[in-house]
Amino acid sequence: MEKYGWKKSVCRKSFTFKGENNFEIQNSRVQGGEQSSGTYKHIESNDYEFDYGGGFDNFTIIVEKNTMKVHSSGKDTICEYTKVDKIRNKYENLWE
């Protein structure tokens, strides 16, 4: 697992959950702005592994009503997202 303790942690712009265990992550401009996608799996409790095909990240995700808090493993920052109603199709669940 990669750790970047020496870099300032920044929040991603958005998470989109699609269908069964698929995701898209839009990185912030500070992170380069690129979009990543792949699959995720539940590990235990609120912990998930996101697999990009060439690497992975572990996140702790807590959802309370329309708010999602995300803590990336090995980083200090907890990012907060709000559920967005602009769903492109019935299989997408977008958080910004």
Tens digits of pLDDT across the chain (96 residues): 333 333 456 788 888 888 889 998 887 777 777 888 999 999 999 999 999 888 899 999 999 988 999 998 888 888 898 887 765 555 555 666
Question: What's the pTM?
Answer: 0.73
pLDDT of residue 95: 63
Distances (CA, A) of 10 to 42, 75, 78, 89: 23, 9, 9, 29
Question: What is the domain partition of the chain in residue ranges?
Answer: 14-95
pLDDT of residue 9: 61
